[in-house]
A and B are shown apart, each in its own frame.
Chain A
C-alpha cells in the first residue's frame, strides 16, 4: 500500500490523463459538496429553532387551570378549577429536587396614568423568580424582590414601550405611576428583544395584586423551570408526574386537558428534534443517491479506461505482472481519485460554510455548519465509494488476456 512505485504509477497515469481524471473526480466531488451543504442546512434549521426557543427558558413548564370537560370522581363536567398560592407551596414541598424556579402568574389589565399621559396595559403579577423563568432583561433599575413580595409593595417593573408611552424622555425609575387610580412606584424598566408586544407589559408582585382585588390567594397560572440538568426524557417524565399529581389533587380526569393543563416546552422540542432528525435522514438518503450516481460514473469511466489500456495491461502481464498487481493498480487509482475529489468537494463546502455560515442569522435558520462526525463519515463513505467504483473495472483488467491485448490488429 505504501509502496512508492505504485503511487508513482498512479500519479503517472493521472498526470497523463488530466481531463479524464477531472471528469471522474468531478461527479464525486460534487456529490460530497451537495451532501455537506444539505446536512449543514438541516443543522442551520436546528440552530434556528433552538435560538427562537432559547429566548424563554427552555426548561419551563406552565400549569393552567380551567373548566373540566368530563365528569370525574363524583363531579360533573364544567367545574371550574382554581389554582391558589398554596399550590405553589405544595409543588415546592413535593418536588424539591425537580424545581429550579417557580412563580405564580396573575393576569389583569390596568388603566395607567402619568401626568397627562395615559394607556391600557396588561399586568402580570408574579414572584421574583419569574425573572429567571421568563429571562426578563432589566435595562434600568431592578426587578421585583422578596421584600416587595412580603410587604405587598405597590411597585412595578414596566416594559420599554410603556416607559416610552408614559414617560417620554423622562427617566421612569423612582417615579409614581397610577394603575387604576392607585400609585405604583416604578422600580425598573425591562426589554425583550424577541418581542415588542412583551415590552407593552408590566410586572408587579403577586401579593400586591391579590391584596388589591379583595384579599384573595387566587392565581391564574403557575410557571416553573425544572432542574436544568434534566435531559428530554427526564423532563417529560417530570412534567407527567406533575400533571398526574395535580389532576389527582383537583380530581380531574387524567386525560382532561380542560381542567388542568401542564404545558412543557420539552414537548415542543421533542417534536422539533423528531422533525429535524427525519430531515437529517432524508438528506443523507438524497446525498447518498447523488454520491451513488458519482460512483457509477467513476465505475463507468474506469471500465472505459480499462478498455483504452487493454494493450498496456497486456504488456504488463507479458512482462510478468500478476493479476493482483493489476487489480491493485486500478483500485488504488480509483480510490485515490475518489478520495481526492471528495476531499476537494468537502473542503469547498466547509470553506463556503465557514465564510457565509456565521452571516446567516434569520429567525428559522442560523449558522449552518458541519461537525467532525460528518467529515469522518464522508471520508469513510469516500474510500468505500472508491473501492466500489474500482472493483468491477479492476476485475475486468485482471482478466485481460495478454494474447488478445498483444495481437497486432
Chain B
C-alpha cells in the first residue's frame, strides 16, 4: 500500500538547515495498523505529513497504492488526498460553524458526490462512530472524544486507502483515548490501512506494528500482539 525509499527532509531556517528525516525506508501492507513512535521532535509529524502529501520530501521515493507521488501540482495533490487519504488530527480540526453531519460530508463534497447521497453516506458514518443523534450539533456542543469521533467519521467518509492520524488521542484523557482507539481498531478490523503517530506506549501497544523513530531514522520496526482497547472501555 505504502512504499518509501531513502526519504530525506530538511527544514531551511535562515542560513542553516535542520535535517529532520535522514533516509527513511519502510513499507506498509494493506490492512496494517501501524504506530509511529518517538520522542517529541523526532520527525514523526514530518513523516506523516509527507505521507499525507501535505508536504514534499527533498529526496527519496514514495509510492502510494502503486502510484508514484512526485512533483504533484496543487490541484493534483488535492485530488490524490481526496481519493487516497483520510486525516485525523490531534486538535480535531472540525469546521466550527458546520454541524457534525456537514463536517463529515465535506470530503464527499470535494469528491463531487451529489447532495442527497452525500448526506446519507455521512449519516451512515456518523452512525458507525455512534453519533447519529448528534448529527445536527455544532462541534462546540460536543465533548473532546465526540469531536475526535466526528473527525474519524469525516476521514472515513471519503473511503480512503489509508487513514493517517497524528496524535489522535493527544488531547484526550485516557478513558476517552481508549474509546477512540477501540473505534480505530474496529475500523482496522474491517480491513482499512491505518497509520498512527503517538508518543504514548499504551496507545502504540494497541496497534499491530510499532515503528520507532529517533533523530530522523528508524531504529526499530516490529510486529506486536495487539492489545484490544475494548476491555478498558
Contact = CB atoms under 8 A, between A and B. Distances in A.
Interface of A: 4-5, 12-13, 16, 311-312, 314-325, 398, 401-403, 406-408
Contacts of A315: 93-95
Given A12-B97, A312-B95, A406-B93, A319 B75 contact: no
24 contacts: A4-B115, A16-B97, A311-B93, A315-B93, A315-B94, A316-B106, A317-B78, A317-B81, A318-B81, A319-B107, A319-B154, A320-B110, A320-B111, A322-B74, A322-B75, A322-B79, A323-B74, A323-B75, A324-B75, A402-B54, A403-B49, A406-B54, A406-B89, A406-B93
B108 to A, nearest CB: 9
A237 to B, nearest CB: 64
B140 to A, nearest CB: 12
Interface string B74-98: 1100110111000101110111011
B110 A319 contact: yes
Contacts of A321: 78, 110
Contacts of A13: 97
B107 A320 contact: yes
A322 B78 contact: yes
Contacts of B98: 12
**What DSSP secondary structure best describes chain A's contact surface?**
helix
A317 B187 CA distance: 24
A63 B113 CA distance: 82
A408 B154 CA distance: 19
B38 interface: no
A16 B99 CA distance: 13
Contacts of A4: 115
A187 B45 CA distance: 108
Contact of B89 (A12, A317, A408): A408
B195 interface: no
Contact of A318 (B54, B83, B94, B109): B54
B55 interface: yes
Interface string B31-56: 00000000000000100010010110
B156 interface: no
A319 B81 contact: yes
B87 A318 contact: yes
B82 A319 contact: yes
B123 interface: no
B158 A320 contact: yes
Given A322-B74, A408-B90, 19 more contacts: A12-B97, A311-B93, A314-B93, A316-B95, A317-B81, A318-B54, A318-B93, A319-B81, A319-B106, A319-B110, A320-B81, A320-B110, A321-B78, A325-B110, A401-B54, A402-B54, A403-B54, A403-B55, A408-B89
